[in-house]
Amino acid sequence: MERLYSWPWVEAQVARTIEVWDAGAGQSALGGAQFSVQEQQRREKAYDEALRFVERELKRTPRSKTDRLQTQTRITAAFARFSATALGLQPDAIDLLTNDFLPVGTKLSRWARRFDSSLSMPDIVQACRNAWTACGLQPLLGESVWLTPSILGYSLLYPYSDNYLDRVDISRAAKLRFSQRFRDRLRGEMGFAEDDREAAIWTLVGLIEAQYPRADYPEVFDCLLAIHRAQEQSIAQLQSSEQFVDAQLLAMSCAKGGSSVMADACLSHGWLSPQESRFSFEWGVLLQLGDDLQDVRQDLARGSMTLFSRAAAAGTPLDALVLQLLRFSERVGEQMDDLPHGNEMLRELLRMSWRSLIIGAIAESHEFFTPQFLQEAERCSPFRYGFLRARNKKLASRQGLYTTLFDAFLEAPDDGEDDLPSPVYRHVPWLEPEVSLA
């Protein structure tokens, strides 16, 4: 059978997406809503009030399960108040975030901790980010928002695979050997796991296979193999990356980001129309380029070249690239509007999140922009840039607060979470893993 999402298909989609990206060059205005200093200060006040409330709640140290669940409820209500005032969200958007997306994150976090107690909070939050992307796709594909076993499995692959391949202290040969074995597992080969990492990965792939049998849903596994190959290619961005021209760096980012969210979409629905596949691919590219902008300082430090880190390393202001990224986000929004499913509230929420990702990243990487551009961009932010940097620095110094807040939401309600498979795998090297679907 011919593979639908073969690597040549990915390359063709990358070329098409780069044409869209190139068409956005030369934009001269940021566009979008602007905020007066007084409006920014009003929103900053709501931010600080919400933060102080959460801190007070976490200092109460609830002893019983009932008390801990009540703490969850109060903090969720505080988030709703913050969203209404500081972010300007309407009640239906707040309801979607608190009653659909937040439970996806808490459910995944609880399952992950039971699956592997060694997973760190950043690992689990990273997995949650991917699950939220997949669940954001579900209504756009005509599905209800819920954490499926396959979305759970795919999202948790990142801490075990993607992060390992991104590590600079692992040799290229070791990464390629691991990658080859992982590829074999994605192809359906059931070799023994050599260590705990492989045992976990083998189990998580099994969750996907249980929901989507290979014979019935070949597109799902085409997508998984596509993102795997794109991840292998991105290793080159940490190895001798100076040899690549900007067009090659862009192509690698497009392949990695596009195929990742393509996989999210296919796992959300089982199959995709040409229109859905193109939208999800371009959304993935948008998120990848947004991440590259957010990580420009870290990428410079570790020698990883992206469009943004290379420009910054050369002393070129990032103004034009960010304007191009904002225009690209508008193009992705136009693609989203052509989809037959999903309501306008969700579409506007996604547009706001994409723009906030970009505008907020400028604040943290302010040294890479011209002063005039920073002034213009700050007027497009609901918070002043100095305020954002100060609060981010404050929160970074309070890792204990993050951990306490995270743990506060790991308390499960009494009705349990029986709609997900039991989180079981063997932590023993050289034994074949097992998936329990009890």
Extract the tokens encoding 175.
């990464």
Using a 10 angstrom Cβ sphere, with 0-12 exposed, 13-18 middle and 19 or more buried, the burial of residue 125 is middle
pTM of the model: 0.90
Report pLDDT for 430: 36
Report pLDDT for 6: 87
What's the CA gap between 269 and 279, in Å, rounded?
A: 14
User: What does each of the 438 residues of the chain score in pLDDT, given as a tens digit?
Assistant: 456 778 999 999 999 999 999 998 887 778 888 999 999 999 999 999 998 898 888 777 667 778 778 888 888 888 888 888 888 889 999 999 999 999 999 999 999 988 998 898 889 999 999 999 999 999 999 999 999 999 999 999 988 987 787 777 888 788 888 889 999 999 998 888 888 889 999 999 999 999 999 999 999 999 999 999 998 887 665 555 566 788 889 999 999 999 999 999 999 989 999 999 999 999 999 999 999 999 999 999 888 889 999 999 999 999 999 999 999 999 999 999 999 998 999 999 999 999 999 999 999 999 999 999 999 999 999 999 999 999 988 887 776 667 777 777 777 665 555 567 767 654 433 334 444 433
Extract the tokens encoding 138.
């579900």
Q: DSSP assignment, residue 190?
A: -
What are the contacts of 341-347 at 24+ separation with CB within 8 A?
341/139, 341/140, 341/141, 341/142, 342/139, 342/140, 343/139, 345/90, 345/92, 345/93, 345/96, 346/96, 346/136, 346/139, 346/140
What torsion, rounded to 10 degrees, do the Cα atoms 374, 379, 382, 383 define? 50
What's the CA gap between 417 and 41, in Å, rounded?
A: 41
Please check whether residue 368 is in contact with residue 306, taking contact to mean a CB–CB distance below 8 angstroms: no
Q: Please give the class, per CATH, of domain 89-381.
A: mainly alpha
What are the contacts of 389-396 at 24+ separation with CB within 8 A?
389/363, 389/364, 391/47, 391/51, 392/364
What's the CA gap between 31 and 312, in Å, rounded?
A: 24
Angstrom distances, CA of residue 208 to CA of 162, 205, 266, 270, 340: 17, 5, 11, 11, 26
**Where does residue 237 fall: left (phi above 0), alpha (psi -120 to 50 degrees), or beta otherwise?**
alpha
Helix (H, G, I), strand (E, B) or coil at 436: strand
Mean pLDDT of the chain: 87
Report pLDDT for 438: 35
Report pLDDT for 128: 94
Report pLDDT for 132: 95
Report pLDDT for 165: 75
How far does Cα 420 stand from its chain's mean position?
Answer: 21
Paired residues of 436 in beta bridges: 422
What's the CA gap between 218 and 2, in Å, rounded?
A: 10
Domain ranges of the chain: 89-381
